[in-house]
Amino acid sequence: MATLHALANPARFLKLARPLTPVLFWAGVALAAFGAWAGLTLTPPDYLQKESVRILYIHVPTAWLGMGGWSGVAIASLVYLVWRHPLASIAARAIAPAGAVFAALCLITGSIWGRPTWGTWWEWDGRLTSMLLLFFVYIAYMALARADAERGGDGRVPALFGIAGSVLLPIVRYSVVWWNTLHQGQSIGLTSSSIDRSMLWPLFFTLAGFSLVFAGVVLMRMRAALATQKLEARLRRMASQ
């Protein structure tokens, strides 16, 4: 908790975030590029899905980060409401656009995969529908956060929405279990996987790579938000003189 309070200080946060941002981002790009290349060239096609299975090296990380992004929004919102850490609200607002982009990429890649697999670009499948709802929740949160900032709000309303929206996460996660759905069941668990090892290993590189890119983008957006706040405060001081 002491470390959390220390990082809540903008100066300490920036001292850490400045060197970390490019390291995380470019390391993530390198890992994701290698994993995608390996998945396209070094793994065998699936015996049922053939070459279309290779989209999993992009689809799975984007689904993971689409849900993980909202987990970050919810946690940062909770921290803001409970401890009023000055960076928590900024973190939630920085995470939301990145999470929305990955949720959109998840839907797009899922649609591309569904065309040869199901014979259609879209199906009101439990997993696809719940992920689409999560994407709309991201959009609603960003609109609410912008409106709250423009009217000079204290950030509590977006924070409450960020926590409330987390109810969708278990629905997305367990949709393939709770409903009879076209989407295939869970392929990767904590201790086992139904995907053969010859096809599975590049996925760890793309998962790690996209996660690092996500972290780098969030740090970049938080630094930009802090710089904007600092500039606005300076302008207000100059106007009052």
Give the span between the Cα atoms of 215 and 209, in whole angstroms: 10
Predicted pLDDT at 173: 84
Q: Whose structure tokens read 């001292």?
A: 15
Alpha helices by DSSP H, 42-185: 56-83, 88-118, 126-150, 156-164, 168-178
| 29: amino acid identity, one letter | V
| Length of the chain as a residue count | 241
Q: Six-digit token pair at 227? A: 């710089």
Please check whether the domain covering 22-42+49-180+200-236 is classified as CATH 1.20.120.
yes
Give the span between the Cα atoms of 229 and 241, in whole angstroms: 19
Q: Six-digit token pair at 79? A: 């921290």
Domain ranges of the chain: 22-42+49-180+200-236
pLDDT digits (tens, 9 = 90+) for 103-129: 999 999 988 888 887 788 888 887 888
pLDDT digits (tens, 9 = 90+) for 61-114: 999 999 999 999 999 999 999 988 879 999 999 999 999 999 999 999 988 888
Q: What is the pTM assigned to this prediction?
A: 0.88
- Share above pLDDT 70 across residues of the chain, in percent, rounded to a whole number: 85
pLDDT digits (tens, 9 = 90+) for 167-207: 999 998 887 666 666 666 565 654 556 566 777 889 999 99
